[in-house]
A and B are shown apart, each in its own frame.
Chain A
Amino acid sequence: MSEGAPISAATFGRQIVNKFPGVECIPKEDGILECIVPADKIRDVVGMIDEEIHDAFPESVFGVDLQEDKYELIYIFWSRTNRTQYHLRVSLEGSNPEVETVCDIFPGMEWHERETHEMFGIGFKGHPDLRLLLLPEELEGKFPLRKSFVTDRARLEEADRTPPKPNATEGGASE
């Protein structure tokens, strides 16, 4: 896999913008190319990364809860040849935000999307398998990584779990 000369972050940013005018690309320090991508363009941009960068490595995709029903998705790719990280940022709104999946282009993103789905309630259209990944079926309340999720001892009762026993106040004989 030695084909292809390195493409600088600025050049690749211009290529993306030329092809997809709605996208905004900002080269940053530390070899990061930050792209602000409209939600309906994400498959195009990820597809372009797959075609143009032969050693594109899918690092991660994750959500950020910006509160008031605003969310941000960040996709991160790394290219060793170009020594560049591609950070694609997608803004989403509404109580049921949704975006198209990219896991058929990069299978490595499949579980990252599945995790984002269960933790943030962000839908991925066309994803083959959106079952719960890390969370137990019996968890009450939804989307633990949203800021509105209550993390409190009180949740133990709510979820029908036994609250921890209070500390013993006096000593007693062992059984």
Chain B
Amino acid sequence: MSPDILDETTEVWFGPQHVSAHGWAAKLTLVGDYVVECDPNAGYFHRSAEKCLEFRNFRQGSLIMERLCMLEAFLAEYPYIQAVEKIAELEVPERAKVMRTIMMEASRIHSLQFWWGQFSAELGLFAMLLWPWVDREFFLDTFEELSGSRHAVSYSTPGGVKYDFNDKVLKKLDIALERFEDRMPMMRDMLMGSPTFRARTEGIGQYTLKQGLKFGLSGPPIKACGLPMDLRKDAPDPNLAYDMIDWEVPVTESKEHPGESDAYDRMVQRFKEMETSVEIIRKLLPLVPEGPIIDSKARAKANRLPEGEAYGRVEGTRGISTLWLKTTDKAQTPYRAKIRGPCFNSYYSLKHLVPGAKFADFIVVFGSLDPYPGWWDR
């Protein structure tokens, strides 16, 4: 694809001051209008979260975790909670399980709405930036009513959840969902039907399923290749409620290039993800049982943990997020905590996916993988 007649190369830093590059930068080597080499740089946000976790107790740790990705805070904090619950052998009340799951899915919709607006803006479609972001406000209102905070919700805690549902929360959640269901199909068709959008995304950033797996991509970028790899179904967590209801993992199988995905397929996939999340919430809402929201002994049990190792994993909006936790006997803080952010790999894979693309398509490849700097910098 790269033209041979031009042998002069130009190096361009994309970011960190570029408006689309909020806290990251990639060094692109160009020949003419084509990128021949891409060197993604990380570390602009690095706050050593893993070391910080070694100095926080087991109830404080999730606060660091949710700050790694504020857009999916309910999901980002969960691997840590899951690992602590495994080591401390905590029982989670039924009510808390269902409530957690509902809020995690609401968080997923909100995160995808953010991405959808931002990706459109990166393509130059600025009208589509604000419309989903207006609808997203209604989810943030719900989070605020529930926890008092729009982003840093710190909802799950070892052994249950911190805040109970009430009528106001449920009303606000219902308004957010109704508004979403009402407006999303119209906006989706407007965006996806646009010839500009199709021309910018079709055939861009294309890879096969096998390549995607080898790069360590997960979540929508893999499901858009047609493989329903989803931890919610494949490794259901006993402390979440995904197995209480009947639902299907959405996949996108392209007709033009089966087994591969391009930026357009990943866009289609994420719209399906949002619809699935709405379906899960709608099915779970009537199933919220009465009862306590936290095990009354959980606080004491999570104070000091026995010696152990546990691996917490959750299917986040952007892929598989995990936390590996090692504790020593009667310790108040972890001995080692390793965070795996899904975007660590999707950002890395730009190195392989971008060369050969035009310079203007770089941001399309980047945006279609939905990377969030907090996940790789930590």
Contact = CB atoms under 8 A, between A and B. Distances in A.
Interface in B209-223: 209-210, 213-218
A60 B321 CA distance: 10
Interface stretch (B45-53, B159-167, B198-206, B285-293): B45-53
B12 to A, nearest CB: 19
B216 A58 contact: yes
Given A55-B227, A57-B229, A59-B216, A1 B210 contact: yes
Interface in A49-94: 55-60, 62, 64-65, 74, 76, 78, 80, 83, 85, 87
A74 B50 CA distance: 16
Given A59-B322, A83-B235, A134-B42, A106 B344 contact: no
Secondary structure dominating the interface of A: mixed
A136 interface: yes
A135 B235 CA distance: 34
Contacts of B46: 134-135
A27 to B, nearest CB: 15
Contacts of B335: 64
A111 B50 contact: no
A171 to B, nearest CB: 31
A107 interface: yes
B23 to A, nearest CB: 12
Contact of A60 (B48, B55, B215, B340): B340
Contacts of A64: 326, 335-336
A145 B344 contact: no
A89 B324 CA distance: 13
A112 interface: yes
Contacts of B209: 1
A144 interface: yes
B377 interface: yes
Interface in A16-67: 31-32, 55-60, 62, 64-65
Interface string A124-135: 000000001111
A14 B50 CA distance: 35
A111 B345 contact: yes
A162 interface: no
A151 interface: yes
B59 interface: no
A132 B350 CA distance: 18
B348 interface: yes
B326 A57 contact: no
Contacts of B338: 60, 62
Nearest to A132: B43
B13 interface: no
B114 interface: no
A58 to B, nearest CB: 5
A108 interface: yes
B25 to A, nearest CB: 13
Nearest to A74: B324
B131 interface: no
Contacts of B234: 80, 83
Contacts of A111: 42, 344-345, 348
B312 to A, nearest CB: 11
B235 to A, nearest CB: 7
Given A85-B311, A144-B48, A151-B51, A55 B336 contact: no
B258 to A, nearest CB: 11
Contacts of A56: 213
Nearest to B55: A151
Interface in B298-347: 311, 320, 322, 324, 326, 335-336, 338, 340, 344-345
Contacts of A110: 348
Given A57-B229, A58-B214, A60-B324, A108 B348 contact: yes
Shortest Cβ-Cβ A-B pairs, 5 listed = A108-B216, A134-B43, A134-B46, A62-B338, A60-B340
Given A64-B335, A78-B320, A132-B43, 5 more contacts: A32-B311, A55-B213, A65-B336, A76-B322, A134-B378
22 contacts: A57-B218, A57-B229, A59-B320, A60-B324, A62-B324, A64-B336, A78-B320, A80-B229, A106-B214, A107-B214, A107-B216, A107-B349, A108-B214, A108-B217, A108-B345, A110-B348, A111-B345, A112-B344, A134-B42, A134-B43, A134-B46, A145-B50
Interface of A: 1, 31-32, 55-60, 62, 64-65, 74, 76, 78, 80, 83, 85, 87, 106-112, 119, 132-136, 144-145, 149, 151
